Amino acid sequence: MVRTVVRNGRVFDGTGSAPAEADVTFEDGRIVEVGSGLDGDVAIDAAGTSVIPGMFDCHVHVTVSGTGVFSTAARPFSYQFYEAARNLSGTLDCGITTVRDACGADLGMVRAIENGLIDGPWMQISITALSQTGGHCDSWLPSGLHLTPLLPHPGRPDGVVDGPDAVRQRAREIIRAGADVLKICTTGGVMSHTDSPEHSQFQDDEIAVVVAEAEAVGLPVMAHAHGAKGIKAAVRAGVRSIEHGIFLDEEAIDLMVERGTWLVPTLAAPRAIVSAGASGAGVSASTLEYAEEIVEIHRDAMTRAVDAGVKIAMGTDSGVFPHGANLSELALMVEGGLSPAGALVAATSSAAALLGVDAELGTLTPGKRADLVLVDGDALEFAELKQRVRAVFKDGVKVR
């Protein structure tokens, strides 16, 4: 077997320890040693770079590309899958080697990456989001039309469902389709047509059914949740992560700390809506106005969560905006109260812990899979970080 040594780099190992000069060796897809003066059969000179673990984005939509439902509706059904392949490749360009798709990707994409048919990060998938009638993921419009980029197909059951019995069956169908995590919408959304982000959705018994069905097969639940009431309902039911959390109140934050619930803040998402509206993209005036109002509310919510000790993992909501800009979230998390090192931990070891893969990924530790990224200069300086990605490795194979 060939042992590769990455020499002379400044290693940020993802544990939270300060960066330090070190070498990293890996063999047969696994990290062997991290230290000084290491040898290998193949040497990579990393002088002038930071060596960091492969990063995570815990909230993406790879079948959506920020172009709006009208553009998507005008394309052939299969176009979305080719577009997803491009989006996955662009995400890997960022040094993100693992993603959790928050609605849209199906099992075929996971298998295509694993079997080397397409290029992209490792994936966990939720397949579709469970939403009540009139809820965040109900695509009904006042005209009576349903316009959505996520048309149901055999590998992606429709997520709109009501009542505990129907919710139970649909959850089981999504699990059968290969989900790694179940997603439920317990509030409305910023871009929803028929609700408000502060509206609570699903009753407690419906949410409890989703959690119970997930737990029965050892899966977690992620909850799209903006409003405080819907956040608290999800946390009390036992969801693993709150996605967005814009209107967190102190009771919700205390509950999350008590229950160990994660926050995936996706701070880039409302900012992307504001930018799209300013550029003349098809964002309604009401959506644009609302997005502008919540940017500061969102940042304040994260700051209070950080100060209270809520666990944070990086997610971006890429797909709401074009893929490949994922790393902008790092600087926004610093604005939200994390240190630069804390933000990078949120994108590495903390994200791996949320996804339940921390025994294999997330830190540069002997025995773990050799997913690592070489970045020119200081990886804790986030300006133009994507442009400074020099090399990306997955399981010890250089893919960028």
When the pLDDT of each residue in the chain is averaged and rounded to a whole number, the result is 92
Q: How do residues 33-85 score in pLDDT, each as one tens digit?
A: 999 999 999 999 999 999 999 999 999 999 988 766 667 778 888 999 999 99
Per domain, the residue ranges of the chain are 3-53+362-398, 55-354
- Tell me the fold of 55-354: TIM Barrel (3.20.20)
Q: How do residues 222-250 score in pLDDT, each as one tens digit?
A: 999 999 999 999 999 999 999 999 999 99
Per-residue confidence at 272, pLDDT binned at 50, 70, 90? confident
For the chain, the three-class secondary structure string (H helix, E strand, C coil) is CCEEEEEEEEECCCCCCCCEEEEEEEECCEEEEEECCCCCCEEEECCCEEEEECEEEEEECCCCCCCCHHHHHCCCCCHHHHHHHHHHHHHHHCCEEEEEECCCCCHHHHHHHHCCCCCCCEEEECCCEEECCCCCCCCECCCCCECCCCCCECCECCCECCCHHHHHHHHHHHHHCCCCCEEEECECCCCCCCCCCCCECCCHHHHHHHHHHHHHCCCCEEEEECCHHHHHHHHHHCCCEEEECCCCCHHHHHHHHHHCCEEECCCHHHHHHHHHHHCCCCCCHHHHHHHHHHHHHHHHHHHHHHHHCCEECCCCCECCCCCCCCCHHHHHHHHCCCCHHHHHHHCCHHHHHHCCCCCCCCCCCCCCECCEEEEECCCCCCCCCHHHEEEEEECCEECC
Over 80: is that where the pLDDT of 113 sits? yes
- pLDDT for 139: 73
- pLDDT for 195: 72
CATH architecture of the domain covering 3-53+362-398: Roll (2.30)
Q: Is the pTM of this model over 0.75?
A: yes
Among 106-120, 138-152, 175-189, 377-391, which is the least confidently predicted range?
138-152
Per-residue confidence at 105, pLDDT binned at 50, 70, 90? very high
Over 60: is that where the pLDDT of 258 sits? yes
